[in-house]
Structures are given as structure tokens and as C-alpha cells.
Amino acid sequence: MNKPALLLGMAIAMAAGQAMAQTYRHELSAFGSWTRMKQSGEAVNVNILDVDYGYYFTPRTVGTLGISRFSSDGIGSTDVTLGGKYYFGVGRRDSIVPYVAGGLGTTKTAAERARRWELGGGFAYFVTESTSFDIGFDWFGIKTSPSRSGTIIGVGFTTRF
């Protein structure tokens, strides 16, 4: 086989892989998580359900819009965030792709509305070409009086379409 034909074949294969990765423009994620939050020296355990919609700007860069529901004894809030996610690779079946994510938004409780931030990352294990099982680790802060912060360890699924 001559070199030009081999190079052309490799270029076509790489372009086809890139084109296949760009067929998905949207993603939908659902996470459940447990959070240990410290406030005024006391620890509280909180359950979280998080649903995020994402739009792919590039095969690795996603803009996200999320809604979360936090609940625990005596505590409840609904959060809306706008953010982004960056994958450090393009997912293929049986691959593990790390990612980083972050967002800004608002938290609404029965008594008040406050600003919220979140920063973290995780790993997406691609069960199929379009669906991954995700494990994420996030740090968050809520600007209330007193302010709250904590760590979220979440597991869930993301599907792309």
C-alpha cells in the first residue's frame, strides 16, 4: 500500500469519527445524590434530584440548563442553574470520559431567594454510543444568611439525541 492512500484512509476515518460525534446536539441528564451540608457547626443530610438539559456547541463543549430539588427534614429548595460542561474526549461505547462542569443560578426556598454557584467534574462511562452512566463530584455555595456550602456526590444517566 502506498503512503498517500494510507494517509488519505486515516484522514477519512478520523473525519468520519468526528462527524459521528457531532450527530448529537442535545443531552438530557438525571442525577440523584446525597449531600452532607454543614451550617452553623451542625451537619444535615440532604437528598437531591437534578435534571439538566444540554446543548452541544462542539463535540466536547455543552451549555447546560438545570433544575434541582433539594429536600430534607425542615429543608427544601428548588434551584435553577445555567452553566457548562466540557468533556475531555468524545464518548464511544465502553469508554470512560472525564468532564468538568460549573454553573451559576438561583435557589428558592419557602422563605427566600438566593444566588448559587456550583463547580465540579466527574466521569461518564458510555454504556452505548449515546447513553452514559455518570459519577460526579461538585462543590457548591448558596449566598443566604447564613451562607451554606457543601459537596455533592451524584450518580445518574445522560442520554444524547
CATH architecture under which domain 24-160 falls? Beta Barrel (2.40)
102 forms bridges with which residues in the sheet? 84, 119
Domain ranges of the chain: 24-160
What confidence score (pLDDT) does residue 33 get?
76
Separation in Å, CA 11 to CA 1, 4, 14, 23, 92: 16, 10, 5, 19, 19
What confidence score (pLDDT) does residue 2 get?
66
79-107, pLDDT tens digit by residue? 999 999 999 999 999 999 999 999 999 99
What confidence score (pLDDT) does residue 70 get?
86
What confidence score (pLDDT) does residue 6 get?
57
4-34, pLDDT tens digit by residue? 665 556 655 555 444 444 589 999 999 987 7
Q: Sorting pLDDT into bands at 50, 70 and 90, what band is 38?
A: confident
- Phi/psi at 13 (5° precision): -65, -40
What confidence score (pLDDT) does residue 18 get?
47
What confidence score (pLDDT) does residue 129 get?
93
Q: What is the pTM of this model?
A: 0.77
